[in-house]
Amino acid sequence: MATDSNAASAAEKVFPPFDPSTIPSQVLWLAITFGVLYFLMSKIALPRISSILEVRSDRIAQDLDEANRLKTESDEAIAAYEQELADAKSRAHGIAQEARDAAKAELDAKRESVEADLTNKVSEAEKRINGIKTKAMGEVGAIAEDMTAELVTLLTGGKATKAEIASAVNSAKN
């Protein structure tokens, strides 16, 4: 009989949610609770969440529009900067070319001046050299006559006349 009493006490100890006699009341309370939660969510919580999401969406759209506007402005600024840089490089190149041309023209003028001065100096030096050469060539005859007279005196011990010496030197020149 102990087993019958255990079976009776086991029947009394059934977990209430699994008790078949309480299922209709549990379904009723489930429906009431679900309805109240559905009403609260649809009328209070979801509209608030929806408005928050809408505000965030609008803010994100505005931020994207602002970012696009700023990107466009920065692209325009970069393009303007690059154009200014290219213009500045072009102007700098032009200025440098003008400076090179001016320096070259100045150097060419100085070179021509120096060349003309050197040409004049060379001409004057050639004239002096020709004058000295002509004078020296004119004195060669006299020097040759003096040397010949001395050689004759040394070699022969006698003296030759100036006419004889001049005649010998002239015949040797020709």
Among the residues of the chain, which ranges form H helices?
Answer: 2-12, 23-40, 46-156, 162-173
Give a yes or no: residue 44 inside a domain.
Answer: yes
Domain containing residue 88: 19-173
Looking at the domain assignment, is residue 6 inside a domain? no
The least confident of 96-100, 128-132, 140-144 is: 140-144
Give CA–CA dist 139/63, Å, rounded: 110
Query: What mean pLDDT is predicted for residues 109-113?
Result: 93
Q: Is residue 7 part of a domain?
A: no
Does residue 26 belong to any structural domain of this protein? yes
Residues in the chain: 174
Q: What is the pLDDT of residues 119-137, one digit of tens each?
A: 999 999 999 999 888 888 7
Whether 77 maps to a domain, the answer reads yes
Exposure string of 102-136, with b = 16+ CB inside 10 Å and e = fewer, is eeeeeeeeeeeeeeeeeeeeeeeeeeeeeeeeeee
More confident residue, 160 or 80: 80
For residue 10, tell me if it sits in a domain: no
Instruction: Specify the DSSP class assigned to residue 157.
Output: S
pLDDT bracket for residue 151 (50, 70, 90): confident
**pLDDT for res 71:** 96
Task: Give me 6's structure tokens.
Answer: 């255990």
Tokens for 22?
């309480």
Q: Provide φ and ψ at 17, rounded to 5°.
A: -65, -20
143 to 11, 45, 148, 150, 171: CA distances (angstroms): 169, 139, 8, 11, 15
Instruction: Count the domains in the chain.
Output: 1
Residue 4 lies in a domain: no
Q: Is residue 93 part of a domain?
A: yes
